Amino acid sequence: MEENIGYSMLRNPRYNKGTAFTYEEREKYGIKGLLPDKIETIETQILRVEEQLENFEKPINKYIYLMQLLETNETLFFKTIISEPAKFLPLVYTPTVGQACQELGHILRRPRGLFISIDQKDHIKEILRNWPVKDVRFTVVTDGGRILGLGDLGINGIGISIGKLILYSSCGGVPPEYTLPIVLDAGTNNEEFLDDPLYPGLKRKRIRGKEFDDFVAAFVEAIQEVFPKICIQWEDFTGVDAIRILNSYRDNICTFNDDIQGTAAIATAGFISISRLMEKSFKDQRFLFMGAGAAAFGIADMLLKKFIRDGLSEEEALNQIWMFDVNGLLVKSRTDLAEHQLQFAHDSDPSDNFAETILKIKPTAIVGVSTVGGAFNSQVIENMSAVNERPIIFPYSNPTSHSECTAEQAYIWSKGKAIFASGSPFPPVLYDGKTFTPGQGNNVFIFPALGMAIFATEAKRVTDDMLLTAAEAVAEQVTQEDFEKGLIYPNVNDILKVSMKVAERVAELIFESGLAGVEKPNNICDFIKSKMYVPSYDIITCNNKP
């Protein structure tokens, strides 16, 4: 017996309006009596969502509720998220998504996205064609190798891919039907998961080396054939794998790595903003990194490009960037450096004391990408304050427990002098009668807007110039009023407005670079607006049976 079309619509999250179906729609699709008689607005529905969320104390339970809403009513979900981004983004992405990934096997309701195991290497095209949408433009792909600062979470890393794509749509305007979260399951070295009967992934040690690279290559070839306009965002691969994969494909397909390039762009945006705040040239900044992995390399490379764009030679620019890892300062006499680290090794004496290195190098900014919680201790902050009138303190490691220091520590130990931004959110701090508002270097200001520009222009490649342009566009939107509040990034509640301007700037560059797959429009701003997803019941088309 054929199912009632209206009944099907109520169970299809893309078409479902719930109690907002009009009387005419209820009559047309046979929904009369399947819903309460009252017609509600989406605003009323959001009030109900907010009230139900208040019944949960733990953020993880709020996350579970919101994910179920996404599977029930997509429009209401996205409308809720963008109604107050500062409130809802931390629930659907960092920091809550970290716990969601750790517990995925225990909180799993309805699987979302595609799960491709290394055992299915010869059947990837078949798996991709099982996805119901035939024109996918964006995928966020992870192997779960290094989720946030939580380590190897295996197949549970799919939560990160899901969360990132939620931000593409809610914060950048990329239509959700064009997005696809994917996890590549090559096993896990997480002993807790291997012993957990509810872990849903392969119960074997992680595959490495050539076999893993062949798996990734087979995936790239397959997805390019099945979805020719796809842009691949690599997410949370281990550092060495992340760099190698990015370098293998960045010049041949439309791809980027948000951990490397997105983090670099938002950090650079912050430093550009600070230079304006302090009325100094960006070229006067000097950086010392705690950590020298993929994230540090990405930020350093972006800073290098910014220095050069602003007029320094490469040699002069490199002299402004220093790195410190678990074995000490990166100097040329060391024999343990990876290839990508050599460029940032200096002809200097070795040092294994970060705080003392600050007094020697005199950086204007320290950047934490070590995932070592508390690495910026009181001596580090005091030394930064000794060599700077306004020390720039950027503990960028996620989640909060892995942050190199807290906002409160930075402000207290610097006696209120620090300019602070972190990877995870921190609450305002009251010190010496003044309230300090910590900045958060959230990639959400970069990759959704970049994604929107790529989606609209059908860009053939993603270049570092695009990401640097995005960083400059974000920094330009920080106002003097923001500065006076201690902010070095725009207000996250303005994310759609910010993303619109960033996407416009990046799209202009894409057209100028000859990388667009469509003709350049007369008005790029109007062009971007016409492509943006707006969560509204008014634009849902229910003419075709879902």
The ranges assigned to domains in the chain are: 5-85, 96-253, 261-444
What gap in Å lies between CA 411 and CA 463, rounded to an integer? 37
pLDDT level of residue 440 (50, 70, 90 thresholds): confident
CATH code for residues 261-444: 3.40.50.720
Q: What integer pLDDT is reported at residue 44 of this predicted model? A: 97
Q: What sign for the dihedral angle of Cα 232, 220, 148, 94?
A: positive
CA end-to-end span of the chain: 17
Whether pLDDT at 546 is above 50 = no
Average pLDDT over residues 13-36: 94
The span from the CA of 376 to the CA of 187, in Å, is 34
> Are 71 and 13 spatial neighbours (Cβ–Cβ below 8 Å)?
yes
Q: What is the rounded average pLDDT for all residues in the chain?
A: 93
pLDDT at residue 534 greater than cutoff 50: yes
| 3-class DSSP assignment, residue 511 | helix
Burial class (CB in 10 A: 0-12, 13-18, 19+), 151: middle
Listed residue (82, 252, 168) closest to 451, CA to CA: 168
Name the CATH topology of 96-253: Rossmann fold (3.40.50)
Does the pLDDT value for residue 480 go beyond 90?
no
Instruction: Say whether 396 is catalytic.
Output: no
Predicted confidence band of residue 85 (pLDDT cuts 50, 70, 90): very high
Report the pLDDT value the prediction gives residue 239, as an integer from 0 to 100: 80
Question: Residue 484 has what pLDDT?
Answer: 73
Q: What average pLDDT does range 184-197 have in this prediction?
A: 96
Q: Tell me: the pLDDT tens digits for 95-146?
A: 899 999 999 999 998 889 999 999 999 999 999 999 999 999 999 999 999 9
Which band of pLDDT confidence, cut at 50, 70 and 90, is reported for residue 402? confident
Contact (Cβ atoms closer than 8 angstroms) between residue 524 and residue 511: yes
- pLDDT at residue 240 in the model: 85
What DSSP character marks residue 331?
B
According to the model, what pLDDT value does residue 407 have?
Answer: 95
User: Is 540 a residue whose pLDDT tops 80?
Assistant: no
Identify any residues that bridge with 185 across adjacent strands, giving them in sequence order: 117
With 50 as the cut, is the pLDDT of residue 339 above it? yes
pLDDT tens digits, 285-297: 999 999 998 889 8
Looking at the DSSP bridge assignments, the partners of residue 328 are: 325
Residues for the chain: how many in total? Answer: 546
* Catalytic pick among 62, 79, 121, 164: 164
Distance of alpha carbon 228 from alpha carbon 128, whole angstroms: 12
**541: confidence class by pLDDT, cuts 50, 70, 90:** low
CB neighbours of 537 closer than 8 A, spacing ≥ 6?
Answer: 17, 20, 42, 75
Q: State which CATH number among 1.10.8.60, 1.10.600.10, 1.20.1370.30, 3.90.1530.10 fits the domain covering 5-85.
A: 1.20.1370.30
Sign of CA dihedral 220, 226, 227, 228: positive
Percent of the chain scoring above 90 in pLDDT: 84
Model pLDDT, residue 42:
97
What's the CA gap between 529 and 321, in Å, rounded?
A: 39
Mean pLDDT of 175-204: 97
Q: Has 280 been annotated as catalytic?
A: no
- Report pLDDT for 2: 52
C-beta separation of 9 from 30 below 8 A: no
The two beta strands, 328-329 and 321-325, are: antiparallel
Q: Are 470 and 502 in contact (CB under 8 A)?
A: yes
- Token pair, residue 68, equals 């179920």
Q: Report whether 473 contacts 265 (CB < 8 A).
A: no
Mean pLDDT for the stretch of residues 20-41:
94
Catalytic residue of the set 93, 178, 489, 537 = 93
**Dist. CA 448–CA 480, nearest whole Å:** 25
Query: What pLDDT is attached to residue 545?
Result: 39
pLDDT tens by residue, 358-393:
999 999 999 999 989 999 999 999 999 999 999 999
Q: Please tell me whether the peptide bond between 132 and the residue prior to it is cis, using omega within 30 degrees of 0.
A: no
- Contacts of 253 by beta carbon, 8 Å cutoff, 6+ apart: 220, 224, 232, 461
Q: How many Å apart are CA 534 and CA 540, to the nearest integer?
A: 10
List the helix and strand counts (H, then E) for the chain.
24, 14
How many other C-beta atoms can be found within 10 angstroms of the C-beta atom of residue 434? 10
pLDDT digits (tens, 9 = 90+) for 227-277: 999 999 999 998 889 989 999 999 999 999 998 899 899 999 999 999 988
Quick check: do 5-85 and 261-444 share a fold? no
Q: Cβ(189)–Cβ(205) under 8 Å?
A: yes
Average pLDDT over residues 218-222: 98
pLDDT category at 278 given cuts 50, 70, 90 is confident
Q: How many CB atoms lie within 10 A of CB 428?
A: 12
Percent pLDDT > 70 in the chain is: 98
Query: Residue 512: is it exposed, middle or buried by C-beta count within 10 angstroms (0-12/13-18/19+)?
Result: exposed
Q: Which pLDDT band, with edges at 50, 70 and 90, does 542 fall under? A: very low
